[in-house]
Structure 1
Amino acid sequence: MPKTEASRKTVAYRHGSDSLEGILVRDAASAGPVPTVMVCHGAEGRSDVLAEMSERVLPWGYQAFVMDLFGKGVSGTTRQELDALMRPFLEDRDMLADRLSAVVATVAGLPEVDAARIAAIGFCFGGLCMLDMARTGAPVTGVAAFHGMLTPPPGRTPRKIDCKVAVYHGWDDPFARPEDVVALAAELTESGADWQFHAFGQTAHSFMAERANRPELGIAYSARSAERAWSGLRGFLAECLDPTG
């Protein structure tokens, strides 16, 4: 695997009255526009931990844009804070779609980005965001959801999904039950999506997050499943972002 040295650049953007700030993470040796992986945070908000995780895609020939949905400097730690940040978007999925669209437009307009080759991945709440990006036709080549919530916006008729979709799921995740998995498969099939679903046994919610350690709530890191998911993601991104993929 080629050696890379990560560099970071903050990118300010707005949606409505909110000021937001993402991070472009790229190989310091990169020159010119590069295929880009947008990375969406969970209910905690944009974090340096997520920026570090995003460096995983650099040796694969891509760069990452760590998005911010909640606002510059806005984050949460307690369950009450996390719910307060996430709840408005869960209750207004149209607002969520508009915000995601604004982020995609921001990323596509960056001179460092190959606008024809943008994919997106997300974790937990960010996993739901990825599925909603696919559902609303965001101009990306593929989305991948990790231990995300799977339920669609209520009362919405499935539309055609043009981008590729991958889902990485812990079978013991209490926030996405087997019936939700079956319902999502039916929805994606009805939408004509090119989709794949990877479920890992003996694996709970937040299995990609090394600091996750609340097994009594069904939340726990799994090194084995995380590495399997990263390995699967590499192949998926090659399909979405490489010219021959």
Structure 2
Amino acid sequence: MSADIQTRSVEYAHGSTRLLGFLAWDDSLPKPLPAVLVSHAWGGRDEFACGKAQALARLGYAGFALDMYGDARVGSGPEENSRLMAPFMKDRALLQARQLAALQAVRALSEVDGTRVAAIGFCFGGLCVLDLARTGADIRGVVSFHGLLNPPENIAGRPILAKVLALHGHDDPMAPPEQVLALQRELTTAGADWQVQVYGHTLHAFTNPRANDPGFGTVYKEIADRRSWQSMQNFLSEVLK
């Protein structure tokens, strides 16, 4: 099927912070469409996140690349990326509220079926969508790609309603195997319907073709990228049907 992919910017807000989302959808499909939030990595709502929104549109969803930092701010490199991410790592309630603001915004869009929404996230964004699920939000499912896994303290023990899929590299230095096991215990205790897929000989950021820093632990791996995207498609087909 040839896709008639349309895109537009979506302005929304969290408190006094102006946020700029990026919406992509196939205009040839009957609307409203099931929607998938895309939560960006530490660098901000960049071309990678917007590209994933467009890829989701080609699969028949409304893809919405959300904005955590405001005004679609994008970091210039590791130092600025770390500075932009730091307030949310220190204040997980702020992180969670910013995710919930995006969920509320996408549900209000005319192109979207607000009853059928899921979320995916990459690296920092993987942590963000896991935290969205941890809030107990009424969302169909979340997918974490090589996400950070450390749990928040402010909502510990809350039931998780969303189905959860975590896609992870076994050799990821930012979330080692013991954290993967801890996540599984956490999700079980929270009553979640969860799946974890771990890829051998795979580091952090394995879906990003620009990742090529073995010393930092971020290396692209084509086979893990392909396998994880297929697993996400299978998951979304189930939760958004």
- Asked if Structure 1 and Structure 2 have the same fold, meaning a TM-score greater than 0.5 normalized by the shorter chain, the answer is yes
Letter of the 1:230 partner, please give it: W
Compute the displacement of 1:92 (Å): 0.4
Aligned to 2:104: 105
Unaligned stretches of 5+ residues in structure 2: none
Alignment-mate amino acid for residue 107 of structure 2: A
Residues of 2 paired with 1:137 and 1:176: CA distance?
23
Note if contact 2:5-2:58 (Cα within 8 Å) is conserved in structure 1.
Answer: no
Question: Which residue of structure 2 aligns with residue 34 of structure 1?
Answer: 33
Report how far residue 12 of structure 1 moved.
Answer: 0.2
Query: d(CA) in 2 for partners of 1:15 and 1:155?
Result: 19
* Aligned residue identity for 1:57: L
> Partner of 2:37: helix, strand, or coil?
strand
Task: Tell me the CA shift for residue 177 of structure 1.
Answer: 0.7
Indicate the larger mover: 3-12 or 186-195: 3-12
Deviations 1:85-129 (A, max 9, x none): 101001000111111111111110111100000000000000000
Scaled by the length of structure 2, the TM-score of the pair is 0.97
Bigger shift: residues 46-55 or 16-25: 46-55
Q: Secondary structure at the match of 1:184?
A: helix
2:138 maps to 1:139: yes
Q: Helix, strand or coil for the counterpart of 1:84? A: helix
Q: Which residue does the alignment assign to 2:189?
A: 190
Residue pair 2:6, 2:26 contacting (<8 A) in 1 also: yes
1:156, distance to aligned residue in structure 2 (A): 4.2
Provide the rounded CA distance (Å) in 1 between the counterparts of 2:108 and 2:155: 30
Give the CA deviation at 1:49.
2.6
Structure 2 Cα separation of the partners of residues 72 and 219 of structure 1:
27
**Structure 1 residues 191-200 or 41-50, which shifts more?**
41-50
Whether 1:157 and 2:156 are equivalent positions in the alignment is yes
Q: Give the direction of change, closer, same or farther, for the CA distance of 1:58–1:92 in structure 2 (3 Å limit).
A: same
Counterpart residue number, 1:119: 118
Deviation at 1:155, TM superposition (A): 6.0
* Aligned pairs (5 A) from 1:4-83: 4-83=3-82
**Contact 2:127–2:147 at 8 Å: present in 1 too?**
yes
The answer (yes or no) to whether the contact 1:12–1:20 under 8 Å persists in 2 is yes
Q: Which residue identity is paired with 2:168?
A: H
How far does residue 20 in structure 1 lie from its aligned partner after superposition? Answer: 0.7
1:27–1:130: structure 2 CA closer, same or farther, 3 Å change rule? same
Q: Is the 8 A contact 1:104 1:139 kept in 2?
A: no
Q: 3-state SS of the aligned residue for 2:84? A: helix
Question: How far apart are 1:139 and its partner, in Å?
Answer: 2.2
Q: Which amino acid aligns with 1:152?
A: P
CA contact (8 A) 2:118 2:140 kept: yes
Q: CA deviation at 1:61?
A: 2.1
Give the % identical residues. 43
> In structure 2, what residue type is equivalent to 1:67?
L
CA RMSD of the aligned region, Å? 1.2
Q: Counterpart in 1 of 2:235?
A: 236
SS at structure 1 position matched to 2:215 = helix
Verify the 8 A CA contact 2:145 2:167 in the aligned structure 1.
yes
The equivalent of 2:215 in structure 1 is: 216
- Aligned-pair distance for 1:200? 0.3
TM-score by structure 1 length? 0.95
Q: Report if the CA contact (8 A) 2:146-2:167 is conserved.
A: yes
> C-alpha displacement at 1:57, in angstroms?
2.1
Please list the CA deviations of residues 194-237 of structure 1 after superposition, one character each: whole Å capped at 9, or x if unmatched. 00000001111000011111111110001100000011001100
Report the number of matched residues.
241
CA distance in 2, matches of 1:101, 1:73: 17
